[in-house]
Amino acid sequence: MAQEKKVALITGANRGIGYETAKQLGEQGITVVVAARSLSSAEETATKLKAAGIDAYGIQLDVTRAEDRVAAEKYLADKFGKLDILINNAGVNASTGFKNVTSQVEDEELLRVFNTNLFAVVALTRELLPLVKKSPAGRIVNLSSILGSLTLHADPNSPIANFKSFAYDGSKTALNQYTVHLAHELKDTPIKVNAAHPGWVKTEMGTDAAPMEIPDGARTSVELALLGPEGPSGRFIHMGSELPW
């Protein structure tokens, strides 16, 4: 049954930036569906959010599993009849971290990273897009990284020049390309599609060396999820500023 309140699905929402994104959207009065690889983790997350006064639901969604993606679509369709906001937050790092071992990256590593960071995003978005089209103002946010910027990687003087991890960076570059293509496909609809760089954030992936706290790391995703009708689409954004592809 359709409802008037906005509904958001956030993948990888049981911790870090995903959890904080769900929290901040929930505090704006949006119903949040928090997805995690295990149902128990998702339900624990929803319970925690509900205790803070947020309308939250937990679902199992390992984004790499087709049966989980189909089940998520059925859950959202049956319960809400639409999806206003899709935040493709789930992602994995390269097993080598940010050591530049480009010539040694094996096929299995590329497939593992691309499977979560790109292929699963494409598949889940394809599965849920009919529900997003039922929203009067659908928003799709793809969690990218400044490390996906070819422009900055090619500049020896850029701040990321020495942070090269081919599998991870390549997956985010490809995700950026997907963002541009999907935004172009949907340009004559109310749906906006953007890539978000959260920043270098103190998460499990970002480590304690990162300069940004998690609440600030969620800000870009939240801002893009709440864009008004005049907001951008097909852009690469960090904290309200556009980044080079």
CB 131 within 8 A of CB 76: yes
> Given CA atoms 15, 131, 197, 149 in this order, what sign does their dihedral have?
positive
Instruction: Name the DSSP letter for residue 201.
Output: B
Cβ atoms 118, 142 nearer than 8 A = no
**Cα separation, 160 vs 162, whole angstroms:** 6
Angle, CA 97 vertex, CA 92 and CA 99 arms, to 5°:
145
3-state secondary structure 83-147: CCEEEECCCCCCCCCCCCCHHHCCHHHHHHHHHHHHHHHHHHHHHHHHHHCCCCCCEEEEECCHH
Q: Quick check: is 172 catalytic? A: yes
Cβ atoms within 10 Å, residue 197 = 23
Query: Given 172, 178, 192, 202, which residue is catalytic?
Result: 172
Cα–Cα distance for residue pair 45/99, rounded to 1 Å:
33
Considering 57, 168, 178, 192, which one is annotated as catalytic? 168
Active site residue 5: no
**How far is residue 91 from each of residues 12, 48, 159, measured CA to CA in Å?**
8, 22, 23
Taking residue 131's Cβ as centre, other Cβ atoms within 10 Å add up to 21
Catalytic (active-site) positions: 168, 172
